[in-house]
Every structure is written in structure tokens, then in C-alpha cells.
């Protein structure tokens, strides 16, 4: 369906619908082409009405704050849905925390600590709750799956559905969210803790992160998963002896560059936009690192950064 026809088919939409919206400034890496359409719903009912009217053949990509994303230079066909202020509330009831999908992970961790609830592992995870659930985000041995109760999603027909951990089938850095579904809120069960102690722990975590990761550079967090069998899943039979940064170093790729892209000198599993990089530079360097690591160690690294959209035609 042509974009003009698609726009004509969508009526009574209260949110913002933008044709050809550049996505580079909405991602942490600051690269990528435009979305065919970007929809920013006014509220839940607006999102439901939009999806009810959207033809099934039109692809949908829910986008958070772009913290773990490379949008390719040719842009993204279909509709990108980006949730805003109507989806960032945080509520507490007993030992549960319910957060909107657009709420920032760090903000949820801080507010939970204020309420004496321990979601401190979220403090250093870049991004928003929707992405954290989708990717089963985690650090310091804790994962979303460990505290997850349920989530509310809007399906492609506009209907609401509550999903459980069994529905999502959480695995390392992934979940089985239905295709085209937009996650709008999630509920977590948290252990109790003294607010002062929880905040102190998060302060220590931030200091540790900033001392070992290039947090002031344009990156999208860890580029590759730790090698299979060494994935920090927290399971008793898993070990953490081998890290992605170690096999990258062993292949001589710390500080490697391609165009404006670079593997960070500070932490070699961080792909950064060192200045003027294109999405092709970043993805190309990542693929070069994967090949060099394989040639050196026989290990194929798996991308942790999500890559979407079309490359520019040669």
C-alpha cells in the first residue's frame, strides 16, 4: 500500500502521525534512515484504534528510546510506533511495581527504591521498560524474567491481552512477544529493602559501570552476546568464564575502525559512533569483528544490538 493510501485509511487518530520521519536522532547511535510512518499515540485507546485500522500487510515496529538499535541507512518500511508520556506511569501496590512501557529503566529502579522495593538491577540498563521486557534485560546476575509477573500488550487487531512469563518464554536476551504486538505496561514483583541501602547499591553500580564502559560515547550498549555457554544467564549450569570482549581482544579488534565506527578502546565489546558514522559503517565493523573472532577462535559472536530496516542501494 502506498503511503498516501495508508494515510487516507487512518481516521480519527489523535496522536502524531509523521511521514518520512528521520530516525537517526531517536537512536543512541545517531544513525539510520527514515521511517515510512512514525506514530506517537496519544494514549492507550488511540493506539488500539490505530492498530485496528492498520492493514495487516503493513509491518509494525515498536521502538523505545533506541538504546539497543541500529536503523539501517535506507530506513524502515511500514510504521514505527513510539510510545510517549501517556505510557510512562509507575504505580506501586504491596510488593509489585507496574510501569508503563515508555518508563525509563533507571527511573523505575529509582522510584522503586524510594518505595523500598529492589529493582536495582534496572538502574544501569539503558532504555525503557518495553525493551527491557522484550529483551529480558539483565545485569549483576538478575534478569527481568526473575521479577516479571505479567505485561499488557496491544495486538495487531487492537485488542488488549495480558501475557505471563509462560507466554513470553523468556530466554537469554529474548522473549516470544507476538509479532506486531505493542507492549504497553509490565508488572514486577520485587523484594523489600531499605531505601537508603538500595540507593547506595545503585550509586556503586553506576560508578562501576562508568569506570569500565564508554558511557560518554555514542554506543548502543554491549554489541555482542557472550559466547554460547558463557552467557551470564544466572543458571546454575552456566559459567561466565568467557566474555565477548575477551575473544574480540584476542582477535586484535580492540579499537578497530571502519569509517566513523570504532570498537571502543575502553571496552572492546562496545561499538561506538566515533563521529560521522553511517549505519553501514557500524554494522560493517560489527560483521568484520565477527569474522575476525571466528577466524581466530572458531566462535561466531551473536549480535546483541538489534539491526532493522533496509541498507541503501549500492
Catalytic residues: 173, 222, 304
Number of Cβ within a 10 Å radius of residue 7: 14
Tell me the CA distances in angstroms from 162 to 60, 101, 120, 178, one per residue in order: 20, 14, 25, 12
* Dist. CA 70–CA 32, nearest whole Å: 7
Chain centroid offset of residue 185 CA:
15
* Dist. CA 102–CA 266, nearest whole Å: 30
In degrees and rounded to multiples of 5, residue 9 shows phi and psi of -75, -15
Amino acid at each position: 500500500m502506498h503511503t498516501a493510501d495508508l494515510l487516507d485509511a487512518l481516521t480519527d487518530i489523535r496522536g502524531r502521525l509523521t511521514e518520512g520521519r528521520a530516525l537517526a536522532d531517536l537512536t543512541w547511535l545517531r544513525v539510520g534512515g527514515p521511517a515510512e510512518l512514525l506514530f506517537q499515540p496519544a494514549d492507550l485507546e488511540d493506539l488500539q484504534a490505530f492498530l485496528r485500522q492498520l492493514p495487516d500487510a503493513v509491518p509494525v515496529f515498536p521502538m523505545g528510546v533506541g538504546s539497543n538499535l541500529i536503523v539501517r541507512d535506507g530506513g524502515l518500511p511500514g510504521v514505527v510506533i513510539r510510545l510517549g508520556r501517556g505510557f510512562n506511569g509507575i504505580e506501586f501496590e504491596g510488593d509489585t511495581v507496574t510501569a508503563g512501557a515508555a518508563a525509563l529503566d533507571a527511573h523505575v529502579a529509582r522510584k522503586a527504591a524510594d518505595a523500598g522495593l529492589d529493582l536495582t538491577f534496572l538502574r544501569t540498563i539503558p532504555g525503557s521498560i518495553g525493551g527491557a521486557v522484550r529483551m529480558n534485560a539483565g545485569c549483576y546476575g538478575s534478569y527481568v524474567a526473575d521479577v516479571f509477573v505479567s505485561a499488557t500488550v496491544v495486538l495487531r487487531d487492537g485488542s488488549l491481552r495480558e501475557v505471563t512469563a509462560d507466554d513470553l518464554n523468556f530466554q537469554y536476551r529474548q522473549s516470544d512477544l507476538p509479532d506486531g504486538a505493542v507492549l504497553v505496561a509490565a508488572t514486577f514483583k520485587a523484594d523489600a529493602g531499605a531505601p537508603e541501602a538500595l540507593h547506595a547499591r545503585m550509586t556503586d553500580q553506576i560508578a562501576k559501570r562508568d569506570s569500565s564502559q564508554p558511557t560518554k560515547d555514542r554506543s548502543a550498549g554491549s554489541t555482542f552476546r557472550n559466547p554460547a555457554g558463557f552467557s551470564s544467564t544466572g543458571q546454575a549450569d552456566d559459567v561466565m568464564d568467557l566474555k565477548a570482549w575477551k575473544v574480540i581482544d584476542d582477535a586484535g579488534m580492540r579499537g578497530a575502525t571502519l569509517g566513523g565506527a570504532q570498537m571502543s578502546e575502553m571496552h572492546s565489546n562496545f561499538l561506538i559512533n566515533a563521529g560521522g558514522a553511517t549505519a553501514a559503517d557500524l554494522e560493517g565493523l560489527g560483521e568484520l569483528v565477527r569474522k575476525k573472532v571466528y577466524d581466530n577462535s572458531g566462535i561466531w559472536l551473536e549480535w546483541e544490538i538489534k539491526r532493522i530496516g533496509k541498507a541503501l542501494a549500492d
